[in-house]
Homo-oligomer: A and B are copies of this chain.
């Protein structure tokens, strides 16, 4: 028996998110099907991040156990032959049997991409959120600064019902512009449901001048979802970096 880790990139457009569902295609469902077919065992992966419907990833992580004799690092090649073209395993490797991607310390980075121009660009529409309203980057950066650190992010959580605590730590937020594209890059040790999209929606409100940057602190203090800005659309969000540290196991993807 061995435990195998997969680094999985996907275009989330056609999926109802990561997590297995009764009705609707999911990344987890496609991986289970392709792995069970490849290894002739009933495989059920454990995912690191349960991304929402329409959210993309360059490096989500899943683990599973198998008795199969195929070397772990060869699984990526064989598995990609059996996956739809909008899911591609980037790496497969053996990991310690006690490694669990959600029960160890990890850091992840999400990018939220906004295209800020007069008309949308069709070739970017699935991976960027379009807005013609001019956004002021300096205001957005000032607003973002209030979110860095350990805070109660209850105002930035869609449904707090199923979590013990809404305290999370954001390590860094960078806001960059490349041509007409604005990228909000958020790095943290853990995120609440819809947290990055609500942060993006709130910082866009700051960028368009709906409220001053310092109001982001008021929003945090309210601890009420109604206080924050709208949830920005899923298509703009991509999980771009993931790192894990668990005893001797320490990897970055």
Contacts and interface: CB of A to CB of B under 8 A. Distances in A.
Interface in A9-28: 9-11
A242 interface: no
A126 B88 CA distance: 14
20 contacts: A9-B119, A9-B121, A10-B122, A11-B122, A11-B123, A56-B122, A58-B121, A76-B119, A85-B122, A86-B122, A86-B125, A88-B119, A88-B120, A88-B121, A89-B119, A90-B118, A90-B119, A123-B126, A123-B127, A123-B238
Contacts of A118: 90
A66 interface: no
Interface of A: 9-11, 56, 58, 76, 80, 85-90, 118-123, 125-127, 238
Contacts of A58: 121, 123
Q: Is the interface of A mostly helix, strand, loop or mixed?
A: mixed
Contacts of A125: 11, 85-86
B122 A87 contact: yes
Given A86-B122, A88-B122, 12 more contacts: A9-B119, A9-B121, A9-B122, A9-B123, A11-B122, A56-B122, A58-B123, A80-B119, A86-B125, A88-B121, A89-B119, A123-B127
Nearest to A80: B119
A50 B9 CA distance: 34
A238 to B, nearest CB: 7
Contacts of A127: 123
A52 to B, nearest CB: 16
Candidate in A9, A120, A122, A238 with the most chain B CB atoms within 10 angstroms: A122
Contacts of A56: 122-123
